[in-house]
Structure 1
Amino acid sequence: MKRNYTDIIMAAVLILAVAAMRIITAELRLPNYTPVEAVGLFAGAVILDKKYAYILPLLTMFIADTYFQFFTTVNGFYGFEQVIVYIAMALVTFMGTKMGKINGIKVLGYSITGSFVFFALSNFSYFLAGWNGYTTSGFIKTYIDALEFYRTSLTVNLVGSIVLFGLYFTSKNVIARQPQNA
């Protein structure tokens, strides 16, 4: 029971911290400087109750999007393409559930792949919205325009994954070394 309560507290803190980070970086005009995909990957890999693994990153995004919608000039809820962005996040979380035994190489590989999956799907949704037209050149322009965002997102998610998984395993090792009271 205590373990479940601790996990819920940690998840709630993580949700609020990442949502706040997403809001702050957006207000500072630093798009994609929040490791949201790293949170999805981490949640999928380490949270035992998988419904919470999916809720964590999606709720993080929803809280920030709600803030954007009601308290800024940025549209937090911007159309059907947003559903694809949320599906992309759920897919990154699903990837985390398939990671198996976690090690540094897997975290690196899954982080790179997760960032690419999110980039590919979220920008496809942008293309579907017609911002650059529905032509081959519009499709190519959509992805070329997004490359700078992808570079930032990939870097932030690699660092975020290292921090999240690193802190998680460090805390597990510290707890495991604690003497057990009988």
Structure 2
Amino acid sequence: MPAYNMNTRNTVLILMIIGAIAMRFVTFEFQQLSNFTPVGAVALFAGTYFTDKWKSFLLPLLILFVSNIGINYLYTGQVTLFSWFDLVTYSCFALTVFIGTFIKKVNVLNVLAGSVLSAVLFWLITDMPFLYGNFYTHDMSGYITSLTNALPFLRNMIMSDAIFGLLLYGGFELAKNKYTFLRNKHELAM
């Protein structure tokens, strides 16, 4: 594939990711939409479509980092570059990118399965009780309480990953069907 086509494909992917991440600022105003953000869908999408795997990890995490600065400012009125909890969050989204790399055939079932798997893993990891200091007891009871309290966030994350995933994957697949220069080498060979 000529370099200019690969650059065009990557540019389209990056613009789609930036556009989706911008939705974080829209949902900020509505607290009932907490965790209803495109971040999980973006990470899965990047893992699926970037042919250079380092880009699939770097770009969504970098865009998440930049958008977090703005979101944190909206919540606290202070510029916060990084917190210790971000390490856990970014690791979970890197895991979601990794899951996205296994989606070889893009269809509703595969994208939905990747979305649900990544959301459940995010929920199981980020709601470990020791991450919240002494808010929960550091035993199985505290973990179950933390997971139970986080069920509305899990629901929102699964729904947002499905909706934003449909928009991102569906939009790019439609664009690839119309514009062959968005296809990768393997797709062009078919």
**TM bracket, shorter-chain basis:** 0.7 to 0.9
Partners of 1:44 and 1:97 within 8 A in 2: yes
- Aligned pair partner of 1:170 in 162, 171, 174: 174
Measured at CA, do residues 23 and 53 of structure 1 come closer, stay the same or move farther in structure 2, by a change above 3 Å? same
Partners of 1:58 and 1:90 within 8 A in 2: yes
The number of residue pairs the alignment matches comes to 176
Instruction: Check if 1:33 corresponds to 2:39.
Output: no
Measured at CA, do residues 152 and 98 of structure 1 come closer, stay the same or move farther in structure 2, by a change above 3 Å? same
Measured at CA, do residues 7 and 146 of structure 1 come closer, stay the same or move farther in structure 2, by a change above 3 Å? same
Match of residue 51 from structure 2? 48
Residue deviations 1:86-106 (CA, integer Å, cap 9, x gap): 101000100111222322221
CA distance in 2, matches of 1:74, 1:87: 26
Runs (5+) with no aligned partner, structure 2: 181-190
Between 1 and 2, higher relative CO (CA 8 Å, sep ≥ 6) is seen in 2
What CA RMSD, in Å, does the superposition of the two structures yield over aligned residues?
Answer: 2.3
Residue deviations 1:71-122 (CA, integer Å, cap 9, x gap): 5417755732221111010001001112223222211211111111122122
Residue deviations 1:154-181 (CA, integer Å, cap 9, x gap): 01111111221111111111124xxxxx
- Quick one: which amino acid aligns to residue 103 of structure 2? M
TM-score, length-scaled by structure 2: 0.81
CA distance in 1, matches of 2:144, 2:132: 14
User: What is the percent sequence identity of the aligned residues?
Assistant: 30
TM-score, length-scaled by structure 1: 0.85
CA distance in 2, matches of 1:96, 1:74: 34
Instruction: Check if 1:9 corresponds to 2:11.
Output: yes
CA distance in 2, matches of 1:94, 1:118: 13
Match of residue 59 from structure 1? 62
Runs (5+) with no aligned partner, structure 1: 177-182
Q: Say which SS state the counterpart of residue 27 (structure 1) adopts.
A: coil
Moved over 3 A (4+): 69-72, 74-79
